[in-house]
Amino acid sequence: METASFRFSTKYITTNKFNGTNDGRVPVVLDWAVRDIKSCDVAKQNKTGTYACLSSNSKCVNSSNDQGYMCNCTNGYEGNPYLPGGCKDINECDHNPCPSDGVCRNIAGEYRCSCRVGKKYAKESNTCNPNAGFIIGLTMGLFGLMVIIMISVFWGQMSIQKRKLNKVKQEYFREHGGLLLFDRMRSEKGLSFNVFSEAELRHATDNFDISRILGKGGHGTVYKGIIKSSMPVAVKRCGIVDQRQKKEFGKEMLILSQINHKNVVKLLGCCLEVEVPILVYEFVRNGTLFELIHGKNQALQISFSTLLRIAHEAAEGLSFLHSYASPPIIHGDVKTSNILLDDNYMAKVSDFGASILAPSDKEQFVTMVQGTCGYLDPEYMQTCQLTDKSDVYSFGVILLEILTGQLPLKLEGTEKPRSLSLIFLSAMRENNLEDVLVSQVKGQASMELLRGLADLAKKCLEMCGDNRPSMKDVADELNRLRKLSLHPWVQLEMEMDKENLLGGESTSGYEIELSGYPMDQSENHPINPGSSYYAR
């Protein structure tokens, strides 16, 4: 029986009665074949004339369930293959198998589809597609002309855009004082300064790839670049530059490019053909003073004498900037994260490329707030006049970080003052200096030395800029305090507390230990896996 039409019921057994549809009758399936011949091959070779597939358009099919064979009409035919002429041609065009925009033509055993002029029938997709050969042949002349016109227009537009881009770059270059730079570089052949193209710096930084970022700040982003195949540099894409700075940029670059001091990061060059100039510095790889004081790796121990030496070197660098030119070069954002450390942990003041020359009259005062919260000169906030004494105030905050190990600005808590400078000045008024000193500092330095450093910081933090010392005075005082820290009886007092806490003297005159990290034996300093951060 046909399986799909039969549903079994136990009543068939108990009552011997079928209660299905059609009084229990279901369709019968007859599975049969010509059995007296084993296969089609044998049947076709039979000379007795018993081959059953008599229609001329029939074919023999071997039985699938036993020996024998069956007959079917070939594709495109239907009917009885066991009768002569029994397989008749099927008119496929009755069902229009061709595309709707095509024409069907029936032939014996199959059909043909054709398309109107200009189109070609695709049997695989059963569609009428444009006849490319016909169209190309018909429109070759017009198409060729159109191609020539399009190419001409394209190259014309490209040429116009290129000229516009070059004009914009030239305008930026002129606006930023590039012509002045070039004239000076030609007249002074020994001037070691490069004017880079934007393309050169994109190539050096892998198109300013995110993986090349060394640091970010409010004034720009710094990338590590490679120039001249192997020379690492720090490439700073500045943020905004005001109109006064644009006008003076070339002049300032001339001055900054000639600064050559061991405690100042060297400005190697710039790119002026962009809206906001790009600066190129030497690459300093060993971290920042901020990382030494507040770094994430608490295993890093740094001696007070090393911190004092770094502070002195940074003061020397700032003093050099203030005295190098007239008017002086003002840094404008002095902070521990802008004091970089080279392979020998020598301080290098960075990010002065965004500095300005001190304004010569009131019209040139910079009205946009510069610097970083916690380091900002309160007098500058009142007058909007940035002076060399603004840098002195910020440096005073750096001295507080060394003494207290605290951040310049506390962002949590409401009862206590958030400003480190206010906390320190309050402690000085109440003669409670020891309460704010970090224990590590108290254990490594005499109170005479610490009071001297605290008094210097207090002078730097004077509200009135005229009452603050100059950066040269600060550097000289730090130098005096360093000598005091090395005086025999002061040194003896320190050694009684710590017994050479950091394990021996280095050849560079300071001590440093990095627990958990290998030491670079060739340089006698720890290998710091972190990168320098130039950005403000």
Following DSSP, what letter does each residue of 195-240 receive, concatenated?
E--HHHHHHHTTTT-GGGEEEEETTEEEEEEEETTTEEEEEEEE--
How confident is the model at residue 382, as a pLDDT?
Answer: 84
What H or E segment, with its residue span, contains residue 87?
strand 87-89
Identify whether residues 417 and 523 lie together within a single domain: yes
Q: Is 102 contained in some domain?
A: no
* pLDDT tens by residue, 404-451: 989 998 766 555 658 899 999 999 999 999 999 988 888 888 888 999
Same structural domain for residues 252 and 330?
no
Q: Are residues 453 and 308 in the same domain?
A: yes
Q: Is residue 137 one of the residues assigned to a domain? A: no
Contact 238, 219 (CB under 8 A): yes
The single-letter DSSP state of residue 528 is -
Q: How confident is the model at residue 123 (pLDDT cuts 50, 70, 90)?
A: confident
Collapsing DSSP states into helix, strand and coil, what is residue 176?
A: coil
Whether residue 403 lies inside any domain: the answer is yes
Give the max Cα distance, the chain: 134
Same domain, 294 and 278: no
Is 203 within 8 Å of 277 (Cβ atoms)? Answer: no
| Binding site, annotated residues | 236
144 in a structural domain: no
From the number of C-beta atoms within 10 Å of its C-beta (0-12, 13-18, 19+), residue 167 rates as: exposed
pLDDT of 87 higher than 90:
yes
- In 287-426, where do the E strands start and end? 300-302, 329-330, 339-341, 347-349, 356-357
Report, as residue numbers or ranges, the catalytic residues: 333
**Together in a domain, 392 and 250:** no
Q: Do 415 and 494 fall into the same domain? A: yes
Query: Does 163 score more than 70 pLDDT?
Result: no
Quick one: tokens of 196?
A: 């880079």
Task: Identify the band that residue 480 occupies on the pLDDT scale cut at 50, 70 and 90.
Answer: very high
Q: d(Cα 233, Cα 241) in Å, to the nearest integer?
A: 22
Residues 414 and 365 in one domain: yes
Give mean pLDDT, residues 287-316.
Answer: 83
Of the listed ranges 72-81, 205-214, 250-259, 371-380, the one predicted with least confidence: 250-259
Q: Kindly state whether residue 514 falls inside one of the protein's structural domains.
A: yes
Question: Is 295 in the same domain as 341?
Answer: yes
Q: What is the pLDDT of residue 426?
A: 92
Tell me the pLDDT of the chain averaged across its residues: 76
> Per the domain annotation, does 22 fall within a domain?
yes
- Decide which of 268, 283, 298 is a domain's last residue: 283
Give the position of tokens 């304004």: 359
Instruction: State the pLDDT at residue 300.
Output: 55
Q: In this predicted model, which residue has the larger pLDDT, 296 or 452?
A: 452
Do the beta carbons of residue 474 and residue 391 sit within 8 Å? no
Instruction: Tell how strand 231-238 and strand 220-227 pair up.
Output: antiparallel
**What SS3 string covers 108-143?**
CCEEEEEECCCEEEECCCCEEEECHHHHHHHHHHHH
CA distance 324 to 322: 6
Domain holding 14, by residue range, is 1-30
* Residue that terminates a domain, selected from 262, 283, 304: 283
3-state secondary structure of 490: helix
123 part of a folded domain: no
Q: Measured between alpha carbons, how far is 250 from 181 in angstroms, rounded to an integer?
A: 6
Residue 380 lies in a domain: yes
Do 278 and 393 share a structural domain? Answer: no
Question: Among 142-146, 279-283, 399-403, 415-419, which is the least confidently predicted range?
Answer: 415-419
CB 374 within 8 A of CB 419: yes
159 contact partners, CB below 8 Å, separation of at least 6: none
Cα–chain center distance at 64: 67
Q: Summarize the confidence of residues 316-338 as an average pLDDT.
A: 88
250, 283, 316 - which closes a domain: 283
For 29-53, the pLDDT digits (tens) are 777 888 888 889 888 887 567 788 8
| 260 shares a domain with 294 | no
What is the rounded CA–CA span in Å between residue 248 and residue 246? 5
Residue 404 pLDDT: 92
Binding site as annotated, residues for ATP: 236
pLDDT at 389: 94
Lowest mean pLDDT among 121-130, 200-209, 385-394: 121-130
How confident is the model at residue 80, as a pLDDT? 93
| 75 and 203 together in one domain | no
For residue 213, the domain's CATH number is: 3.30.200.20
Query: What is the structure's pLDDT at 499?
Result: 42
Residue 470: pLDDT band with limits 50, 70, 90: very high
Q: What is the pLDDT of residues 197-255, one digit of tens each?
A: 888 999 999 999 999 988 876 667 889 999 887 899 999 887 665 555 555 666 667 77
**Domain tally for the chain?**
4
* pLDDT at residue number 176: 55
CB 354 within 8 A of CB 329: no
- Domain check: are 259 and 225 in the same one? yes
More confident residue, 3 or 124: 124
On the question of pLDDT at 165 being above 70, the answer is: no
Of 424 and 19, the structure prediction assigns the larger pLDDT to 424
- What is the arithmetic mean of pLDDT over 109-118? 85
